Amino acid sequence: MRILLCHNRYQHAGGEDRVFEDEGALLEKYGHQVFRFTISNDSIVDLNRIELVAKTFWNKAVASELDQIIRRDRPDVMHVTNAFPLISPSAYKVAKEHGVGVVQSIHNYRMLCPKAQFVRNSQVCEKCLSKRFAWPAIYHACYKENRLATTVVAAMTAFHRARNTWTQLVDRFIAPTQFVKDKHVDGGFDAGQIDVKPNFVFPDPGSGEGDGNYVAFAGRLSAEKGVDTLLETWQHLSADVPLKIAGDGPLSNRVKAAADADKRIEWLGQIEKKEMFDLLGQATCLIMPSVCYETFGLTIVEAFAKGTPVLASRMGAMQELVQDGRTGFLLDPGNAQQFARKVEQVFSMDTTELRDAARQDFELKYTAESNQKWLTEIYAKTLSQSVRTPLVPPGALECSMQRQTN
């Protein structure tokens, strides 16, 4: 099969970027011909506000470039990991005009929530879920804490939902968990259009020993990841339990201050993939105290690959990944005292059964072999559907976009 993978990279690499790289490598390993188109958010600094708004709605330059790529490489399927903000939905229309199947992965809640996370002030917020236009997000300046930027994102999503861009021009969506699928169905998407396929770890790093006698945290240092809960947990710990924190983000100064004040806490900063697996493999457990609806939690699966159990918040997709009492423990979001008690419990128990179960879950659900089978089945399903004729004539969306921005 000939597959065009498209991805709008973030300025700070994260889980979506890893999924894009891993899926491409996986498909090539199993004999598929893979073509890649990427664009980086680093280029945003060269755009003025009007240019950025226009490209977020409908990027003509990207559409033109993809048109040439599709004519040259003749892919069967175009699979988009992330289209926001610079690839834009213009990519879908170009593919459909060439009869190419379109698959879009859902790695966040951007089509339902301007902030993409359903979180505000470290609390779950679904006020925009059922809204045709995300007025609450604009009022609270949810996206980048900027009312103008939030208005642009809210207008973009409202425009494309009103035009049925996603339902008309995307053949299949891939949700990494049932929770994500259900949330999009709640927001008005067709359940029959969404397939559930988990993310995976490639290559298999092999099981670790778990003999490092420390707790690991790996992820973006931001409020929604529960960094405040994490640091407060160690304030409640009476035991001498080391915590190693890997990652960077807006709360890095707070983490550095905590590490300077508490000798049990060590901040490693951003680390490479191999170092990450070493960190997870030697840890007694991974802690993920997120206060938002995680769409998946790739770090959880990476921990499972190393046989490391996970302490996670009882919310979002984490409830699907972590089996309470078997592969880790689920705890109340934001409850630092509860997290502290569970950390002490894990450090006082034999974790052999937890580690074995975590590794078994990885081998059953999150290997490259099983994932490529699911992925190619979704592509085949996409191609088996009748080629959709766009319900708007060629050029109509661009003309409408011009009217909106003039």
- CA dist list (Å): 223 to 100, 117, 228, 299: 40, 11, 7, 17
- Domains of the chain, by residue range, sit at 2-107+163-201+369-405, 215-365
Fold of 2-107+163-201+369-405: Rossmann fold (3.40.50)
Same CATH topology for 2-107+163-201+369-405 and 215-365: the answer is: yes
Chain mean pLDDT for the chain: 93
For 140-255, where are the E strands, in sequence order? 172-175, 194-196, 215-218, 243-246
For residue 400, the model assigns a pLDDT of 42
Q: Among residues of the chain, what percentage have pLDDT more than 90?
A: 88
User: What's domain 215-365's superfamily in CATH?
Assistant: Glycogen Phosphorylase B; (3.40.50.2000)
SS3 at position 385: coil
**pLDDT tens digits for 166-189?**
999 999 999 999 999 999 999 999
Task: Give the residue among 283, 280, 284 at the shortest CA–CA distance from 297.
Answer: 280
Radius of gyration (Cα) for the chain, nearest Å? 22
Give the span between the Cα atoms of 288 and 329, in whole angstroms.
10
**pTM for the whole thing?**
0.91
| DSSP 8-class letter at 91 | H
Using CA atoms of 109, 111, 113, 114 in order, give the dihedral in degrees to the nearest 10. 110
**pLDDT band of 246, cuts 50, 70, 90:** very high
Q: What is the pLDDT of residue 45?
A: 79
